[in-house]
Amino acid sequence: MITKYKPRPKRPAGELPAKNFSDQSAKIGAPDYQGSKLKIMVLGGLEEVGRNMTVLEYGQEIIIIDMGLQFPEEDMPGIDYIIPNISYLEDKTDRIKGIIITHGHYDHIGGIPHLMGKLGNPPMFMGKLTAGIVRKRGQEFNKCPKLDIQEIDEISKMQLGKNFRVEILRVNHSIPDCFAIIVHTPAGTVIHSGDFKIDYSPVNDKPADLNRIAQLGGQGVLLLMSDSTDATHTGYQISESSIGDEMGKIFEKLDGRIIIGTFASQLSRVQKLFDLAERFGRRINLQGRSMNDNVEIAHQIGYLKFNPRILVEDHELDRLPDNKVMIVGTGAQGESNAFLTRVVNGEHRSVNLKAGDTVIFSSSVIPGNERSIQTLMDMMVRQGAKVINYEMMDVHAGGHAKQEDLKLMMRLIKPEYFMPIEGNHYMLRAHAELAEQVGIPKNKILVADNGQIVEFHKSAGGGAIGRLTKDKVITDYVMVDGLGVGDVSNIVLRDRRVMAEDGMIVIIATVDSKTGDTIGNPDIISRGFVYMRENKELIQKTRMKVKKIVKDHDPRTPADDDYIKNKIRNDIAQFLFSQTKRRPMVLPVVIKV
Amino acid sequence: MITKYKPRPKRPAGELPAKNFSDQSAKIGAPDYQGSKLKIMVLGGLEEVGRNMTVLEYGQEIIIIDMGLQFPEEDMPGIDYIIPNISYLEDKTDRIKGIIITHGHYDHIGGIPHLMGKLGNPPMFMGKLTAGIVRKRGQEFNKCPKLDIQEIDEISKMQLGKNFRVEILRVNHSIPDCFAIIVHTPAGTVIHSGDFKIDYSPVNDKPADLNRIAQLGGQGVLLLMSDSTDATHTGYQISESSIGDEMGKIFEKLDGRIIIGTFASQLSRVQKLFDLAERFGRRINLQGRSMNDNVEIAHQIGYLKFNPRILVEDHELDRLPDNKVMIVGTGAQGESNAFLTRVVNGEHRSVNLKAGDTVIFSSSVIPGNERSIQTLMDMMVRQGAKVINYEMMDVHAGGHAKQEDLKLMMRLIKPEYFMPIEGNHYMLRAHAELAEQVGIPKNKILVADNGQIVEFHKSAGGGAIGRLTKDKVITDYVMVDGLGVGDVSNIVLRDRRVMAEDGMIVIIATVDSKTGDTIGNPDIISRGFVYMRENKELIQKTRMKVKKIVKDHDPRTPADDDYIKNKIRNDIAQFLFSQTKRRPMVLPVVIKV
């Protein structure tokens, strides 16, 4: 059920009718708080806690906030991404009353096409832009059911099941339609911040609703779950509009082509670029599929405002003077298939770098991508372009609240309990320290791990008492690799790592089952270990060793097969290590004829 | 030949007798400048230009500055490191008059044990501490010849061959005995900065000799080659002593154990830690082989000053109260075998983390290590320790000059030509822009690539004219992997990358040479592709496809072997991709019996 406020004419913007918890619980029917507890589980991939998914359970009812994916660690070669483990939910799909999505970034929506089928396709609630992106992504996956998406905004109220009444709070981030989620439960009100920053002058988005946040604080909030991404960074986050100003100053000095790399999802930045293009009389050429998709979706629903005539197609680029061109594309993280990489590799059909071009990296560096980006910048300057990145100038504002912003949020909401989420464990700890600094008692700060159950039960005095339990739901990584979801095991990964490190060698011994001798020389295939042509002696010695192992042990009985294989594996591995100090994977094959 | 200044009593410290180029050239005999050119080649691994090695050639004489290594990129799995390619020098070893080492970091000394044998083991010149480290490292390599090392300092003068007179200029960095190299040649004076920062109050080291730098500027410098590592960073580098102050403030508040991760080579930092331990009544426990080695070397020669009784062995640690303990170890980059990683993995014989411990990461993050370090910090806070890193506080000062320092250096030296070195190409370009800002004409700023020959020849007016030539010496990567030097080819690396991404599958078809049919089912070995037990159907289908391929083509003639193998490779690769969207390496083996 989804209802809209009918705004009463006299109520100032943002103000809600005063309510308190007992009112709420009276309204939402017959909450069985006597026997039930509110359980909260955060889920995420890897080291990040609770970025991708949050589960709230009360009695027999469940709601879910977000359903995202994580990109893999360096020691997970070949893995495309990691999605939340939903083992806990699989036999409880009838209890799921709804899924609320905070915003349209992949780490909050990327799991949807993979998981909604398994979860019984419950109704989903999200902002207009988020809905556009989720629908588009759903279409790309065969296995994704037709989604039941209901668009919401900051005046929406949803009653989900008997126990959850949900409201929406607008916050800022680097994409429009970013929500914090207010969940009124029989145990009290829980606020999930989503990804947020506080921006008093956002670009093409409404500012975070500070008045309403303060009002909520006045009404009593049981628990604040808050974004810890930048909890180790001092000070305040920069406003998106000051980035625009900074970019404008840079643009003024440029009379060659301007090429901008940014995230396709960073639509606030893209809006600013359209505004700047207008101001400086440049036309915009969009590059990268996700950039084109997102701009189209956002423009259709009126979230990106520009005159379509400002857009220019690839084939028209050459006809424009350089100082009339701005190219906006993907790949500022050095992603191998994105626009910027294809340009520097000479693989792009219409854009090549030339002297006079200025490439601006308008995004922060995601940890792990530093070297790819450095290489990209090197190739660009070698091709004559000038490169500007965030290190050199303020051309990127982060999307997350920093320490002072986080403290402001806590001061306004005044939650009884605080739970840092969305960050590595050390970031959660840093956020917990900030919470202590603003006066939240240590025993009311709950630093949970992925899957750990946080529980609120009724106290003797009538309030709710929260605690970290020792119970954990399953959170093993579910890795997506090609079409396979969850089928890449740790063994497969370990093998990939071993072969990446020192390669492998296959040894095929054909054995005469009558005499037990090898027939001919053993075949040897080596990949990623040594270059065989330049190591004939080593290979020949290896062959001789294998022949000797077979000769020394009669392989005519099946039981001996494993013995011989193990012997070859161990002895040859040791021999090769002594000769090369490398440890290739040794794969013995014994064929009896 | 190595001589020492006999300091004349009245000369203020750092001042040298006024000299100009014609004086010098008169002194150094009969320079054949008429016909000869000064050639300079910078060498480095990967994207970094001229970090590892610089070659100066005049007429028939060569000198070399530094001989370091580079750590591999992410797309070079299994490679230990990369050393300079010395193809150009291999037939010119008799011309090499000497090798001067600027300081004792691996990227400046790491190639020595591998290369000195091939270069005819010419005499080497370096500071006392550098010599200690190089000797120690040389002992660890069987193939390293007995090195002819001569210790030098800022009052040393070396005449190398007829054409090179070398002097030393003290600079600061993050290790004592860091030198810039002044090379007087018949073409003019060249200054190679080495790695440097300007520190007015270094720890346990003399400050960079600004007076002498200014004097050199007054005498006319043909070319300044200068460190570009931090050329994209605005402002001034922090002094090492202010770091100590900051650390002191942190230490004051701590009464648990303090565990510090830093680079073993960062001896200035280590000295400060000894001082702080003394001040706060803590004893020091050293961890990590390189940390112990370096401290021992530096202490022996008097470069680290501490009372040996402050040191405490592992077995004594438990007997000390926590607030009397400081553990200083390696691994602040998340290196897998270093002290900090072993501690958090529970693999260390005597140190375990516990609540109350504070771990301080006192080093900057080398690009590419971000995620390993985040994981390390996560594990630490999970084990109850508090973590402090450079993001949170000023606990690390970089070792390299930033933009304002770099401009100061150029202003003082006033070189005629400028050549940025030691950085990725985009850093060199940024440094070149700074040079323009301080008034060096654009045509006298030489941004060279690794191996590109920079040439100075005599002009009509008597001065030297420099230019970037189009000639390049060979600079292909020489990769070290285990005992192999330069034997890992691009093919081997490519295979490692393919197997890391999607694994591999070996298909062994045993064929009856009389009938041309397969005998039994083809054997299939898969590693890193899919977990075979859970993919029996896929494997069975693959077997059937292989049987059919063999059946369809008579493999009884040898010429058909390759055809069948190719057919299996291509068809099975395509089949597996259609089923899984993965591209494992397919290795067909056909055995005829």
What would the pLDDT profile of B436-446 be if each residue is shown by its tens digit?
A: 999 999 999 99
Q: What pLDDT score was predicted for residue A283?
A: 97
Q: Please answer yes or no on whether A78 and B510 come within 8 Å at the CB atom.
A: no
- What's the mean per-residue pLDDT of chain B? 87
pLDDT at B133 over 70: yes
DSSP B75-107: TSTT--EEE---HHHHT-GGGEEEEE---SSHH
Q: Answer whether B113's CB lies under 8 Å from B76's CB.
A: no
Residue B292: which pLDDT band, with cuts at 50, 70 and 90? very high
Q: Answer whether A397's CB lies under 8 Å from A243's CB.
A: yes
How many Cβ atoms from other residues are within 10 Å of residue A327's Cβ?
A: 25
Residue A5: which pLDDT band, with cuts at 50, 70 and 90? very low
pLDDT at B27 over 70: no
Q: What pLDDT score was predicted for residue B554?
A: 65
pLDDT at A461 over 80: no
What does DSSP assign to residue A308? Answer: G
Q: For A38-177, list the strands marked E by DSSP.
A: 38-43, 53-58, 61-65, 81-83, 96-100, 124-126, 149-151, 156-160, 164-171
Q: What pLDDT score was predicted for residue A517?
A: 83
For A142, B177, B330, B382, the CA distances from A426, given in Å and listed in that order, are: 39, 37, 20, 8
Burial A88-113 (b: 16+ CB within 10 A, else e): bbeebeebbbbbbbbbbbbbbbbbbb
pLDDT average, residue stretch A515-524: 87
Residue of A nearest to B78 (CA): A501
Residue B398: which pLDDT band, with cuts at 50, 70 and 90? confident
pLDDT at A25 over 60: no
What would the pLDDT profile of A358-392 be if each residue is shown by its tens digit?
A: 999 987 777 778 888 888 999 999 999 999 886 66
Compare B397 and A202 and report the one with higher pLDDT.
A202
Q: Answer whether A27's CB lies under 8 Å from A13's CB.
A: no
pLDDT at B483 over 90: no
Rounded Cα–Cα distance for residues B309 and B283 (Å): 8
Q: What pLDDT score was predicted for residue A120?
A: 95
Q: What pLDDT score was predicted for residue B588?
A: 93
What would the pLDDT profile of B28-54 be if each residue is shown by its tens digit?
A: 333 444 568 999 999 876 678 888 999
Q: Please answer yes or no on whether B500 and A499 come within 8 Å at the CB atom.
A: yes
What would the pLDDT profile of A119-154 be if each residue is shown by its tens digit?
A: 999 999 999 999 999 999 999 888 899 999 999 999
Compare B370 and A444 and report the one with higher pLDDT.
A444
Rounded Cα–Cα distance for residues A354 and A358 (Å): 9
Q: What pLDDT score was predicted for residue B8?
A: 31
- Residue B262 has φ and ψ, to the nearest 5°, of -150, 180
Which of B386, B506, B531 comes nearest A492 by C-beta? B531
Least confident range of A215-224, B60-69, B511-520: B511-520
Q: Please answer yes or no on whether A368 and B367 come within 8 Å at the CB atom.
A: no
Q: What pLDDT score was predicted for residue A432?
A: 96
Residue A35: which pLDDT band, with cuts at 50, 70 and 90? low
Contacts of B74 in chain A (CB under 8 A): 74, 371-372
Residue ranges of domains in chain A, CATH in brackets:
37-235+398-484 (3.60.15.10), 240-389 (3.40.50.10710), 489-592 (3.10.20.580)
pLDDT at A411 over 90: yes
Q: Answer whether A314's CB lies under 8 Å from A308's CB.
A: no
Q: Please answer yes or no on whether A591 and B535 come within 8 Å at the CB atom.
A: no
Contacts of A382 in chain B (CB under 8 A): 425, 449
What would the pLDDT profile of A476-496 be if each residue is shown by its tens digit?
A: 888 888 888 888 888 888 999
Residue A142: exposure state from Cβ atoms within 10 A (0-12, 13-18, ≥19): exposed
Q: Please answer yes or no on whether B381 and A232 come within 8 Å at the CB atom.
A: no
Q: What pLDDT score was predicted for residue A538?
A: 93
For A57, A76, A163, A461, B218, the CA distances from A27, given in Å and listed in that order, are: 19, 49, 10, 22, 86
% of residues, chain B, pLDDT over 70: 91
What would the pLDDT profile of A222-267 be if each residue is shown by its tens digit?
A: 999 999 999 998 888 888 877 777 788 889 999 999 999 988 888 8
**Listed ranges A547-556, B71-80, B325-334; the one with the highest mean pLDDT:** B325-334
Q: Please answer yes or no on whether B392 and A232 come within 8 Å at the CB atom.
A: yes
3-state helix, strand, coil in chain A (%, to 5): 35, 25, 40
Contacts of B448 in chain A (CB under 8 A): none
Residue A19: which pLDDT band, with cuts at 50, 70 and 90? very low
∠ CA A140-A143-A146, rounded to 5°: 80
Which residue in B231, B218, B132, B583 sits closest to B430, CA to CA? B231
Which residue in A553, A556, A546, A533 sits closest to A587, CA to CA? A546
pLDDT average, residue stretch B329-342: 89
Q: Three-class SS of residue A41?
A: strand
Q: What pLDDT score was predicted for residue A559?
A: 59
Compare A48 and B544 and report the one with higher pLDDT.
B544
Q: Answer whether A316's CB lies under 8 Å from A282's CB.
A: no
Residue A400: active-site member: yes
Beta-carbon-side half-sphere exposure of residue B369 (alpha carbons within 13 Å): 15
Q: What pLDDT score was predicted for residue B143?
A: 85
Q: Three-class SS of residue A401?
A: coil
Best mutation target among A81, A344, A400, A527 (most B Cβ atoms within 10 Å) is: A527
Burial A274-305 (b: 16+ CB within 10 A, else e): bbbbeeeebbbbbbbebbebbbebbbebebbe
Q: Please answer yes or no on whether A74 and B77 come within 8 Å at the CB atom.
A: no
pLDDT average, residue stretch B462-488: 87
Q: Please answer yes or no on whether B527 and A499 come within 8 Å at the CB atom.
A: yes
What would the pLDDT profile of A92-129 be if each residue is shown by its tens digit?
A: 999 999 999 999 999 999 999 999 999 999 999 999 99
Please say whether the dihedral angle defined by the alpha carbons of residues B298, B303, B307 and B312, taken in this order, is positive or negative: negative
Q: Three-class SS of residue B478?
A: strand
Q: Three-class SS of residue B50?
A: coil
Least confident range of A145-154, B17-26, B154-163, B528-537: B17-26
Least confident range of B227-241, B308-322, B536-550: B227-241
Alpha helices in A364-461 (DSSP H): 370-382, 403-413, 425-437
Contacts of B506 in chain A (CB under 8 A): 506, 525, 587, 589
Rounded Cα–Cα distance for residues A503 and B217 (Å): 54
pLDDT at A282 over 90: yes
Residue of A nearest to B526 (CA): A492
Which residue in A317, A364, A319 sits closest to A343, CA to CA? A317
Q: What pLDDT score was predicted for residue B390?
A: 65
Amino acid at A123: P
Q: What pLDDT score was predicted for residue A482?
A: 85
Residue written as token pair 């970090």: B51
Task: Measure A522 CA to nearest chain B CA, in Å.
Answer: 11
Which of B492, B525, B528 comes nearest A492 by C-beta? B528
Q: Please answer yes or no on whether A78 and B508 come within 8 Å at the CB atom.
A: no
- What's the mean per-residue pLDDT of chain A? 87
Rounded Cα–Cα distance for residues A2 and A100 (Å): 12
Q: What pLDDT score was predicted for residue B119?
A: 96
Q: What pLDDT score was predicted for residue A29?
A: 37
For the sheet with A258-261, list strands across it: A283-287, A325-329, A258-261, A358-361, A386-388
Selected catalytic residue, list A199, A209, A227, A230: A227
Length of chain A: 593
Compare B276 and B78 and report the one with higher pLDDT.
B276
Residue written as token pair 């969940």: A183
pLDDT at A33 over 60: no
Q: What pLDDT score was predicted for residue B392?
A: 61
% of residues, chain B, pLDDT over 90: 62
Residue A54: which pLDDT band, with cuts at 50, 70 and 90? very high
Q: What pLDDT score was predicted for residue B25?
A: 35
Q: What pLDDT score was predicted for residue B201?
A: 85
Q: What pLDDT score was predicted for residue B459?
A: 81
Rounded Cα–Cα distance for residues A183 and A358 (Å): 47
What would the pLDDT profile of A310-324 be if each residue is shown by its tens digit?
A: 999 999 999 999 999
% of residues, chain A, pLDDT over 90: 62
Tokens of A249: 């100053």
Rg (CA), chain A: 29
Q: Answer whether B139's CB lies under 8 Å from B164's CB.
A: no
Rounded Cα–Cα distance for residues A155 and A247 (Å): 34
Q: Answer whether A85's CB lies under 8 Å from A479's CB.
A: no
Q: For A5-94, list the strands marked E by DSSP.
A: 38-43, 53-58, 61-65, 81-83
Residue of A nearest to B424 (CA): A378
Least confident range of A134-138, A350-354, B225-229, B370-374: B370-374
What kind and span of H or E run contains B322?
A: none
Q: What pLDDT score was predicted for residue B557?
A: 65
Residue B2: which pLDDT band, with cuts at 50, 70 and 90? very low
Which residues neighbour B512 within 8 Å (Cβ) at sequence distance 6 or greater? B518, B519, B592, B593
**Contacts A–B by Cβ distance under 8 A:** 212
Q: What pLDDT score was predicted for residue B34?
A: 52
pLDDT average, residue stretch A461-480: 89
What would the pLDDT profile of B258-290 be if each residue is shown by its tens digit?
A: 999 988 888 888 998 999 999 999 999 999 999
pLDDT at B555 over 60: no
pLDDT at B409 over 80: yes
Best mutation target among B381, B452, B512 (most A Cβ atoms within 10 Å) is: B381
Residue B520: which pLDDT band, with cuts at 50, 70 and 90? confident
Q: Which residues of B are marked as active site?
A: 227, 400
Which residue in A333, A338, A407, A404 sits closest to A368, CA to CA? A333
What would the pLDDT profile of A190-224 be if each residue is shown by its tens digit?
A: 999 999 998 888 877 788 888 899 999 989 999 99
pLDDT average, residue stretch A561-587: 92
Rounded Cα–Cα distance for residues A53 and A43 (Å): 5
Task: Measure B461 CA to nearest chain A CA, in Å.
Answer: 33
pLDDT average, residue stretch B305-326: 95
